[in-house]
Amino acid sequence: MRLHLCQRTIAVLCLVAGLGLAVVAPTHATEDSLPLASIPLTNTGQFSVVEVLVNGAGPFQFVLDDGMATTVIDRRVAEKLKLGAEGEVRVASLGFAGFEIEDVQAKLVDLTKIWGDGAKDGVIALDLFSDYLTTLDLPGQRLILRRGKLSPADGDEILDYALVSRTDGEAFEGRQVVTIEVAVGDDSLIADLNPASWGALTLHRDYADKLPLTFEPGVIGNTVNDKGTFSILGAGFRGTLAIAGHKLKNPGVYFSDAFDHPSLGSGLLDSFEITYDQAQQRVRIHKPNPANHPMLVKAAGLTRQSGHGADLRTTFNQNLDKVRVMVLLSPT
């Protein structure tokens, strides 16, 4: 697999060089290094989705798998692009917002058998970007690629991770996930790191009887796997979840008999930037300044729906000397 930069990116780098600015590959955590790509993500509630050009055609909607697995292309797309009908193929290029990866091995799978008619067009996994520091910027909803490597684990933001096999049906045979050690109260657990997937702190249902909870678990939905359909219970953990140096008090927790492994999903991690250094099997879990959270900026800047007046935050603060009531409602 080879990777190359599109013409526009090369032009930008040439411009930077022409201005006398050095582009240096850093030797440690590289938040300041020049991004090679910044790829928009869309959170569907279940997955994170990226737009992908397959051999220049598309864009197609691909699920971003936060594990390590062979790229999957849905058979409907494969037939449309005359890539073949089944088995594995070599794709000349996959394009992501001006960034291209060439010569990619992909498996052709009928994804409608797994996800029904609403199936996306394919699945790409993080190891497609294994030559790069790959940041899942969840507040900013972007996948950012940089050169460089992470500093050694410091227990504060940077952790060593282990890859564990999590084969999920034939389509994702050989799939591996990133696991890290977390502390749920006084218990140390090895949890799958699933920032691009649905879920919060998700645990097997047995934990519902062991953990102190802020309220009784209630059914919030179902999940289906090859063993059947299972209820998902939602509750609140009364205690602290420690992920590296980050302490999350009373986080939401989901329980199900279908959850064989503890995992950390996007509902828990969506304030964080998760950077993977796949060469060294390290991950950086960084919480950017919450004041810059794009969602918070949007909330503060909400404008009045009729008439004139200041935005929401200004209105709130203009009434500082008063008692304020704020209600969040559905209009129907």
Q: Is 96 exposed, middle or buried (0-12, 13-18, 19+ CB in 10 A)?
A: buried
Does residue number 143 form part of the binding site for other proteins (CB under 8 A)? no
| CA dist., res. 284 & res. 154, Å (int) | 10
Question: By C-alpha distance, which of 4, 278, 247, 31 is closest to 137?
Answer: 31
Q: Which is nearer to other proteins, 112 or 222 (CB)?
A: 222
Q: Work out whether 185 is an interface residue with other proteins (CB under 8 A).
A: no
Residue 118 sits in the site that holds other proteins (CB under 8 A): no
**CA quadruple 271, 277, 283, 285: dihedral sign:** negative
Residue with tokens 């594995």: 88
Say which DSSP state 17 is in. Answer: H
**Per-residue string for binding with other proteins, 21-60, x by CB under 8 A?**
----------------------------------------
Q: Which of 172, 207, 254, 259 binds other proteins (CB under 8 A)?
A: 254
Task: Please count the residues of this chain forming the interface with other proteins, following the rule CB under 8 A.
Answer: 50
The answer to whether the beta carbons of residues 270 and 138 sit under 8 Å apart is yes
Q: Give DSSP secondary structure letters for 252-294.
A: EEEEETT--S-EEEHHHHTT-EEEEETTTTEEEEE---GGG-H
271 lines the binding site for other proteins (CB under 8 A): yes
- Interface with other proteins (CB under 8 A), residue from 267, 280, 287, 288: 267
Question: If binding is defined by CB under 8 A, does position 316 make contact with other proteins?
Answer: yes
Q: Which position has the token pair 């999590």?
A: 166
> Which of 252, 259, 264, 273 touches other proteins by CB under 8 A?
252
In whole angstroms, what is the distance from residue 318 CA to residue 266 CA? 35
Site string for other proteins, 193-222 (x = CB under 8 A): -------x-------------xx-xx-x--
Q: Which is nearer to other proteins, 80 or 313 (by Cβ)? A: 313
Q: Under the rule (CB under 8 A), what is the footprint of other proteins?
A: 200, 214-215, 217-218, 220, 234-236, 250, 252-254, 267, 270-271, 289-291, 293, 295-296, 298-300, 302-306, 309, 312-313, 315-317, 319-332
